[in-house]
Amino acid sequence: MNSNWYWTGRRRSSKLSWTLSRAVLFVSLTFSAVQVFAQGGERGADGRRISEQMTPFTIVANIHYVGGTDMTVFLITTAEGHILIDSTYERDVPWVRKNVEELGFDVRDIKFLLNSHAHSDHIEAHNVMRELTGAQVVMSEVDGATLAEGGNIGPDGRPRYTPVRPDRLIRTGDTVTLGGTTLTAHVFPGHTRGATTWTTVVEDDGRRANFVFWGGLGGVRQPFVNNTAWPTIAEDYADTLRRARQLSCEFFTEGHVEGFGFIDKMNRLLKGEQPNPFYAPQECREGLEQLERDFQAQLAKERAEAGQ
């Protein structure tokens, strides 16, 4: 597969240093030297990703970035309370809270905790954040079961993170509404079986635009052929990509900053560039087309190797 290279980065002083790493069985997409749905990232001795605090900022309208130098965390604010998408690791909660407060909001006003998918780097802190905020945890049915089990069992025989029982389980088409803002769930199996993309509509420069929080659309770590653990993975992922291309994608983000040219767009936005650099419908469309080509190439390769 031609695009199983991905960008990884960690913070050094005030800058991000990018290194190139090799992924195995990753369906990631790349174009213009930037991967849109990458799943890279350096890891520490404990196996966890290295993610340090970044200065929070407003992306557009009521959507703010409060995450770090690897995993993304998004805050959607309303007059009736707020919504948080992903929580990263428990150790990162102090600076996530600080980022929320630096933007002038109270973390205790967070009413809903949403999630992109049930991997520890995106959800380990859900238990702590729920205790801190009293928010409802909303998850897809499949990944919600994984969350309740603590990410299944690790090599040491213990849960990978503190189990959290979701308050609400959702399917594609279900919505979360708060203070006039509605987010719609789209369950896109691939990175996990219950990976969830969230969409909403924002006002930007006098226009209404669709904002897509891609939830683990790339980074498929399993074979597509002869997969006994997930026999329908190829069909499921083909359907994921088909439905993903049907979404109106104008603003978009994903779960790691090395995807979607995040740092470049952030720097341009903070310099006052207009139109908003995060408004990138053509980039999103081309990225999805490339992801489809990568999937078909990988599927053909695996079928040939299996003699099919």
Q: Specify whether the CB–CB gap between 58 and 29 falls below 8 A.
A: no
**Separation between Cα atoms, residue 195 and residue 257, nearest integer Å:** 18
Tokens of 147: 């969350």
Q: Which two tokens stand for residue 180?
A: 């006039």
- In this structure, what are the phi and psi dihedrals at residue 132, rounded to the nearest 5 degrees? -75, -35
Question: Can you tell me the distance from the alpha carbon of 69 to that of 20, in angstroms, rounded to the nearest whole number?
Answer: 16
The pLDDT assigned to 8 comes to 25
Per DSSP, 90 falls in state G
Q: What residues does each domain of the chain span? A: 5-305
Distance CA 34, CA 20 (A): 11
| pLDDT for the residue 41 | 59
Tell me which of 3.40.720.10, 3.40.47.10, 3.60.15.10, 3.40.50.300 is the CATH number of domain 5-305.
3.60.15.10
Closest alpha carbon to 62 in 115, 105, 123: 105
Residues near 42 by beta carbon (within 8 Å), at least 6 away in sequence: 8, 9, 10, 19, 49, 50, 70
pLDDT of residue 176: 98
CB 30 within 8 A of CB 3: yes
- Measured in residues, the chain has a length of 308
Encode burial over 104-121: b for 16+ CB neighbours within 10 A, e otherwise: ebebeebbbbbbbbbbbb
pLDDT in tens, the chain (308 residues): 333 212 222 232 333 332 222 222 333 333 332 344 444 557 665 666 678 899 999 999 999 999 999 999 999 999 999 999 999 999 999 999 999 999 999 999 999 999 999 999 999 999 999 999 999 999 999 999 999 999 887 677 777 889 989 999 999 999 999 999 999 999 999 999 999 999 999 999 899 999 999 998 888 889 999 999 999 999 999 999 999 999 999 999 999 998 789 999 999 999 999 999 999 999 999 999 999 999 999 999 999 999 99
Residue 23: its pLDDT value, please? 29
Look up the pTM and report it: 0.86
* Three-state secondary structure string covering 100-161: HHHCCCCHHHEEEEECCCCCHHHHCCHHHHHHHHCCEEEEEHHHHHHHHCCCCECCCCCECC
Give me the residue label for tokens 């994608």.
Answer: 249
